[in-house]
Structure 1
Amino acid sequence: MSKIGSYQSIQWLRAVAVLMVALVHLYPQQVAIGAAGVDIFFVISGFIMATIGARETPSTFAKRRVARIVPLYWAVTLFMCALALKPGFFFNFTFDIPRLVMSLFFIPYRDVDGIIWPLVQVGWTLNLEIFFYAVFMLCLLTARPVPAAIGAILLLIAGGLLLDPQQAAPIIWTSPLLAEFLFGMLIAVLPRPRNLALAPAIIAGGILWFAIAAASQVTPDNEGWRFVIWGGGAALLVLGCLGMEEAGAWPRATAPLARLGDASYSFYLLHGLVIALVAKLLGHGLAAGIVVLTVSTVASFLSLHLFERPAARLVRSALSRGRG
């Protein structure tokens, strides 16, 4: 399979992951396990880089990732800043030029509460993602980029544990969460279970992993253990789903939800804004949640076709012309 979009299981997992994130933002007390959707995304990203990114030149790799990530993220960030100019529009969103610049360029910083969040709060994951891309791009200069990237991540995590950085950027750039990208890369390069006996059992193991964490109310308050508590379950789900699809047994009934996976990046960035707008009208109950999920889904597909993909093509074209 030459394209990740050819993996229906990956697109389905993306949809599941983004819905989990939306649910935890809607009902943080009741669906705390939904935050693990982020960990699924990180494992998927590691798999994609080792499967697709490892075959690209550093220049092509950089252009494709910038075109994929930056336009929509910048648009959402600037749109929220524009809305925030109206006093009282957002309950807790303020910005200044330095924080705006750092947010736009994925530079981690502490907000007024001391939390390492950019202006668009879900963008904290992009700060980590972009750093992983930068590390992987440098590893493309080596003869064996995937082993080099695995080694680099292990060194970064070890450095963080030894040096215990206190500044925002080094904390993110040495986070144990980088191990979840490593999980994805290992899934890509190691043999996968392509049989109907083992793959479903691995999926069940991942679900059970999450279920135990949810039932016991175990949450990774210490980020140092998140890659185990939630990243372990995420890795099992990705491994099992890929194995099941490669065994030729992926259910066709998952296809409609997999299409949401195509629009998962738009959904991820837009759903927080939808929650804020719907809350002004309907509050935070069940009806509001249904409206948020519906509106976010429609908005994400509109964004995918009217902005995200066209903008990515324009940026790739501009960057290619810029290289002469």
Structure 2
Amino acid sequence: MTETTTAPVTAPAPDAGDSPASDPGSAPAGAMARSAGPKSTGPKAAGRPRLAALDALRFVAALGVLVYHYVAVNHQAWGAETAESFPDAQPVAAFGSFGVQLFFVISGFVILMSAWGRGVRSFTASRVGRLFPAYWLSIVAVLLLLLVVAPGTKDVGLSETAANVTMAQRAFGMQDLEPVYWTLWTELRFYVLIGVLLAVGMTRNRLIAFATLWPLAAVVAARSDHELAATVLVGTDAPLFAGGMMLFLLVRERRAVAPWLVLAGNVVLACAVSGRSQSLRIATSTGVTVDPQAYWPAIAACFALVALIALTPVNRLSWRWLTVAGALTYPLYLLHSSWGEWLIERLYPHLPMVVTFAVVTLTMLGAAYLVHRFVERPLGPRLRRAVERDLDRIVRALTPRRDGVTSDQSAEVEPAASR
């Protein structure tokens, strides 16, 4: 999951995720995508609401993940194991990890909002323009840390770096340069599934069927150890995205029964399987045990918070600072981990623990603002337009000749004829 919040934001981001209106390339409210690709056959989008509070929720989720990495994950940045440095705070900070699940629910909501009424090419270009500028900058930042500032901290090879540039390094069996990148791989697979749904034709009934059957198939694949199927179907995190999608549909059809039933099913499935998966991740990284009676409410709260913003008068909040917070979410999520730990190592011997935490957090927020202001805002729209233009050219080049005229010639002749 970063600009303003009108409709279509993790990773990543995490985050993520995306922001309801952080997509500079979103189609106007109610407008169908101009792309020549497959169009949604569902009803036109009725003006996309401005959900500034959802941006603030994304920011809270990012801060939760930051606290988790600084205070809960076991590392030596504080001069000893985190469990020794924060014996009382660590079990509480471990719940910040559920910010990732909150990102996924939000992503299901806003990505469907972004895709609604769009073609495949427009949707693809918007995602590339949204995710990659800050992501590539974060790769440069972590390489600067690992190769120049603190060489020897971690071995980084050329092939590993090249794979990370694609954001699909896990598909090549390569490690993430930053630990937070795993969520971006999850988001990326979700985007592909949405692209397939757009190509087939996104109707209301197909959407409901998809949100019903896809999470079930994903969970069965994950539980049956069918690794390829589980990877393609996003595994145990699928119910989080599907539930978020139903929340978006409920904004449009508040009294419809089917979306409520599908949402309820996905909430239960997410609590059972996504909660358990996250509890295992927490145990591996922190040694903290999160029991079902704790992770069930944590996952349910993720859905409840998004529902509160989407389905109640809270969605009318439009304070500017909410969208500013949302703009910082994605770069903060990308940058905070490795550089944050390095800064803690350097500052903590000289500053009190609380002051160190505050200084490092503020430094990361400042860096996030700079990335948003000087990387995302200028480069994101340009990259989106370039990708959409190139995709249009590829499609035209692959389009068969009609009446002895190529698609390129037809594209050149039509404007002249219209004049």
Deviation at 1:42, TM superposition (A): 0.5
Taking the aligned partners of 1:100 and 1:65, their CA distance within structure 2 comes to 21
1:235 aligns with 2:235: no
* 8 Å CA contact 1:192, 1:239 repeated in 2: no
Deviation at 1:122, TM superposition (A): 0.5
Change (3 A) 1:300 1:2: closer
The residue type equivalent to 2:99 in the other structure is G
Change (3 A) 1:257 1:109: same
Change (3 A) 1:89 1:110: farther
Q: Which has more helix, going by share of residues?
A: 1
* 8 Å CA contact 1:193, 1:240 repeated in 2: no
What are the ranges of 5 or more consecutive residues in structure 1 without an aligned counterpart?
195-205, 211-217
Quote the residue 2:56 is aligned against. 12
1:27 aligns with 2:45: no
1:86 to 126, 148, 163: 148
1:126 aligns with 2:184: yes
The correspondence of residues 1-324 of structure 1 with structure 2, limited to 5 A, is 3=7, 4-5=20-21, 6-28=50-72, 29=90, 30-86=92-148, 88-89=150-151, 91=153, 93-107=154-168, 109=170, 118-143=176-201, 144=203, 146-147=207-208, 149-150=210-211, 151-162=213-224, 164-165=225-226, 170-171=230-231, 173-190=233-250, 220-221=279-280, 228=296, 230-245=298-313, 248=316, 250=317, 255-283=320-348, 285-322=353-390, 323-324=392-393
Q: Looking at CA atoms only, which structure, 1 or 2, has the larger radius of gyration?
A: 2
Taking the aligned partners of 1:174 and 1:11, their CA distance within structure 2 comes to 24
Q: Deviations over 1:198-219 (max 9, x none)?
A: xxxxxxxx9xxx9xxxxxxx97
Q: Deviations over 1:64-114 (max 9, x none)?
A: 1011111221221133124322384474x3222332233222335499xx9
Taking the aligned partners of 2:243 and 2:152, their CA distance within structure 1 comes to 38
Quote the residue 2:86 is aligned against. none
Aligned residues: 293
How much is the aligned-residue C-alpha RMSD, in angstroms?
3.4
What are the ranges of 5 or more consecutive residues in structure 2 without an aligned counterpart?
8-19, 22-49, 73-89, 255-266, 272-276, 283-291, 394-419
Taking the aligned partners of 1:56 and 1:148, their CA distance within structure 2 comes to 20
Match of 1:18, SS?
helix
* 8 Å CA contact 1:84, 1:90 repeated in 2: yes
* 8 Å CA contact 1:43, 1:183 repeated in 2: yes
Change (3 A) 1:95 1:227: farther
* 8 Å CA contact 1:14, 1:261 repeated in 2: yes
TM-score by length of 2: 0.62
Taking the aligned partners of 2:183 and 2:168, their CA distance within structure 1 comes to 12
Match of 1:69, SS?
helix
Change (3 A) 1:193 1:219: same
Deviation at 1:177, TM superposition (A): 1.1
Among all aligned residue pairs of Structure 1 and Structure 2, give the percentage whose two residues are the same amino acid.
23
Match of 2:214, SS?
helix
* 8 Å CA contact 2:119, 2:198 repeated in 1: yes
Change (3 A) 1:287 1:107: same
Match of 1:263, SS?
helix
Quote the residue 2:396 is aligned against. none
Taking the aligned partners of 2:137 and 2:209, their CA distance within structure 1 comes to 34
TM-score by length of 1: 0.78
The residue type equivalent to 1:262 in the other structure is A
Taking the aligned partners of 1:247 and 1:110, their CA distance within structure 2 comes to 38
